[in-house]
Amino acid sequence: MGFLDIKNATKSYGELEVLHKVDIEVEEGEFLVLVGPSGCGKSTLLNMIAGLEEITSGEIAIKGTTMNGVHPSKRNIAMVFQSYALYPNMSVGQNITFGLEMHDVPKPEREKAMNNVAKLLQIEQLLDRKPGQLSGGQRQRVAMGRALVRDPDVFLFDEPLSNLDAKLRVDMRTEIKKLHQKLGATIVYVTHDQIEAMTLSTRIAVMNGGYVQQLGTPKEIYNTPNNLFVATFMGSPSMNLVPVKIVKLDKGIAAETSNAHGQTVSLPFSSPSDELKSYVGKTVILGIRPEAFTDPGGADRDASNIVEIDNEVIVTEPAGSDTFVMTTLGGKECNARMRADVQVKPGSQARFAINMDKAVVFDTDTEMRIP
C-alpha cells in the first residue's frame, strides 16, 4: 500500500466516462507528475484527489484512510493552482497564514510558520506587499508558501508554471525541484509540458483519453515507451518512427528499410527477444530517439551496436549546443541530433550513425511496444 493510493478510480459525467479505472500508488516522498494533452483527464484526477470532484467508482486513500466522500478541508492536502488564487486585499503574509487562521492556529505559531516558509522560499522582503505589487514568479512563490505553511500529507500542483514566461518557468522548475529535495514532500503535479514532467518527477503517469498509458520513472518512459502515443508525446524532438520489415540474418535479425534514394538499409538488432524474432517477414515500426541517430564522431562510445549509413541531408537546424539534421528513412522524415560543429549541408550526402542498442519496436496494429 502506498502513501497515496488510487484504486480503479473512474469518473463519469452522466453516461460519459472520462477517467477509466486508474490505478496508481504513490509512495511517501515521491514526486508524481501527471502529464498528457489537454482533455486527457489529468486535472480531473487531481481534483478527485483534492476532493473538488467526486469519485464515481473506485477508491482514493491517503495514509491508509479512504478519502471517498471526505470534504476537501478534512483531507490534509494543499493545492497550488495555475491562477495562484491569492487574495488581492491581503498582504503576502496574510495570504500565507490565512488557512492557518481559519483552522484556529494561535498567532505566534502562524507567524513562526510564515517566517520559516518565507525564508525557505526567499520571500521575506515581500511579506508586507499586496499580490498586485508582485511579479508572476513572486506570486507563484507566495501560492507555494501558502501550501507549504500547512505541512500537509500531499501537495497537489495544477499546472502552476503555465502562466509564466519561458525563462521564469525554467527558474521556477529548478526551485520546485530543490524544494522537493529539501522537504522530501509527497507531490502530485499536473502539466501538459513533457520537459517539466521529465525534469521534476521521480515517476510519471502519461495519460491520454482518460487512460494511464504508462506509469514509470522518467528513464523508463523515455527509453522504453509502452506504445506509440508515449513515444511521440515524450521527448523533444519526438522519437523517429520508421516502418521497417523484420528480416532474418545468418546471426540474428535486422530491420530493413530504405534511404532517401530508395536503397536498402539493414539495421541489425543487438539482442532481439524471442517475441521480436516471431515478427520475421512482417512490417513493424522502428523507434529511434534523435540523440541515438547522429554523426559517427558523436556516437555513444559505450554502445555495442552502432550502424553507419550514408543518406541525404534535407534540412539542418543549428541549435547552439547541437545541430539537428533532417533526413528520410522508409519515406519518413527523421531528426538526427549531431554535434554543434558538424559540417553538413542540405542536399549533400552525409554519414549517419544509428545506435541500435537504443532502438525500440512497435506493432503496427496494436501500436504497443514489442518487448
3-state secondary structure 174-201: HHHHHHHHHHCCCEEEEECCHHHHHHHC
Q: 148: burial class by Cβ within 10 Å (0-12, 13-18, 19+)? A: buried
Rounded to whole angstroms, the Cα distance separating 69 from 66 reads 9
pLDDT for 191 equals 94
pLDDT for 1 equals 67
pLDDT digits (tens, 9 = 90+) for 78-130: 998 877 788 999 999 999 999 888 888 899 999 999 999 898 888 999 999 99
Q: 362: burial class by Cβ within 10 Å (0-12, 13-18, 19+)? A: buried
Compute CA 17 distance to the chain's CA centroid, rounded to the nearest angstrom: 24
pLDDT digits (tens, 9 = 90+) for 186-196: 999 999 999 99
Rounded to whole angstroms, the Cα distance separating 251 from 215 reads 35
Rounded to whole angstroms, the Cα distance separating 295 from 30 reads 38
Residue with cell 521527448: 235
Compute CA 30 distance to the chain's CA centroid, rounded to the nearest angstrom: 14
pLDDT for 140 equals 86
pLDDT tens sequence for the chain (371 residues): 679 999 999 999 999 999 999 999 999 999 999 999 999 999 999 999 999 999 999 999 999 999 999 999 889 999 988 777 889 999 999 999 998 888 888 999 999 999 998 988 889 999 999 999 998 888 888 988 988 888 889 999 999 888 888 888 888 898 889 889 988 999 999 999 999 999 999 999 999 999 999 999 999 999 999 999 999 999 989 999 999 999 999 889 999 999 999 999 999 998 999 999 999 999 999 999 999 999 999 999 999 999 999 999 999 999 989 999 999 999 999 999 999 999 899 999 999 999 999 999 999 999 999 99
pLDDT for 36 equals 95
pLDDT for 264 equals 96
CA angle 273–359–286, rounded 5-degree value: 90
SS3 of residue 142 by DSSP: helix
pLDDT digits (tens, 9 = 90+) for 161-176: 888 888 888 888 988 8
Task: Calculate the dihedral angle through the C-alpha atoms of 226, 232, 235, 240, rounding to the nearest 10 degrees.
Answer: 100
The letter for the amino acid at 291 is E
Written as nine digits, the cell of 113 is 510558520
DSSP 79-118: EE-TT----TTS-HHHHHHHHHHHTT--HHHHHHHHHHHH
Tell me the whole-structure pTM to 2 decimals: 0.89
Rounded to whole angstroms, the Cα distance separating 221 from 239 reads 12
